[in-house]
Amino acid sequence: MSIEVKVPNLPESVSDATVAKWHKKPGDQISRDENLVDLETDKVVLEVPAPANGVLKDISANEGDTVTEGEVLGSMEEGEAPADDESEASEKSEKKDDSEQKDDGGEDKRSKATEKDEGKSKKSQDRDLPPSARRLANEHGVDSGQVEGSGRGGRVTKGDMLKHIKSGGGPRQEERVKMSRLRSRIAERMKDAQNTAAILTSFNEVNLQAVKDIRARYKDDFQKRHGVKLGFMSFFVKACSEALQKHPVVNASIDGDEIVYHGFQDVGIAVSTERGLLVPILRNAERMSLAEIEAGIADYAEQARKGSIQLEDLQGGTFTITNGGVFGSLLSTPLLNMPQSAILGMHTIKDRPIAEDGEIVIRPMMYIALSYDHRIIDGKDAVQFLVAVKEALEDPARMLLGL
């Protein structure tokens, strides 16, 4: 019985998808619920499972094609997978065929003869090299036949060999790869942010000694109790939630000619994946404990990297935090995640000398950056927000006690 494989129901607000990758080809055996093909939307990758056991007959939508909900991707012939003994018999038959080909000496012998001729040719080329050039070729693993000679009769000189090695050992390669749908969407949103908002960035620095001390003292007990590691991000989410409540305009957004003040803090956490940057949302972050924040971030990060995150987990959000410090960034000016009006950039922690109580001491310092939409957020609000984040992190006990 022939069965059509169709595009499943797409998430709300998604009108189409792109065929990202087929995991099976026509003629392949497939099992029920086995992933046949990945479909990429603007935000997430959807897996299309096999509706039954059988064999994939044909593919109607190739990789890179745009498809809509209910469109036919291909077809399969329903049936049971072959028994193990049949598979083993097939493998033995293939091995036997390979053995017979080698015994006949046809392709196998011709292949060996070709390799032998190539070896002779290379030795002949090597004999034509002067000792200095031959030594360089051996040291750098260079095939002298790939080097253009400038000596008499086209002979390769030491200078030719040095030039070849210095240039990278051959012609410089280029590769053109079409942007993924997600990467195209990211590019579009980033450019929209620049074209729409009046983006300005303010900076401050934070002494993270108190946070480091708390983590060092309680991280083992925290992990045993809650099953997640105590990281820096939960402290930053908590500090930002406190600061957003004090400065609600930083948590606001523009809708036409109106300013929308959100009475909740849905904080987006930027997560880097192989496919691009995703920003899952921690809903009502102001109500979450450090353990709940850490667990939420860990869960979203795992889903994002596996490509199984849901579209609704990426929608909305009133404020975003991005951590370039995990990659070594010392300072940056992050771009807004529209229609949000502000984004906080974390950076790498560096031990630096600072003045503390009249003395020079070494402390773990981090630069923090707030990019904001100057259309609704004044410089005073942005600076005071950063100061509130700084104070909360430098005295986390007050923050955790709700003071």
Selecting among 128, 374, 381, 395, the annotated active-site residue is 374
CA 219 to chain centre: 28
Q: How far apart are CA 21 and CA 46, in angstroms?
A: 11
Selecting among 65, 108, 143, 378, the annotated active-site residue is 378
In a 10 Å sphere around its CB, with 0-12 CB exposed, 13-18 middle and 19+ buried, how is residue 300 labelled? buried
| Cβ(158)–Cβ(130) below 8 Å | yes
Q: How far is CA 7 from CA 1, 65, 152, 164, 187, in A?
A: 20, 12, 66, 52, 26
| Cβ(76)–Cβ(56) below 8 Å | yes
Q: What are phi and psi of 124, to 5 degrees?
A: -65, -40
Is residue 378 flagged as an active site residue? yes
| Cβ(323)–Cβ(260) below 8 Å | no
Per-residue tokens: 79: 């049936």
Longest Cα separation, the chain: 89
Q: How far apart are CA 62 and CA 71, in angstroms?
A: 13
CA 84 to chain centre: 39
CA atoms within 13 A on the CB side of 191: 6
Q: How far apart are CA 160 and CA 155, in angstroms?
A: 9
| Cβ(110)–Cβ(117) below 8 Å | no
Q: Give catalytic residues, as residue numbers.
A: 374, 378
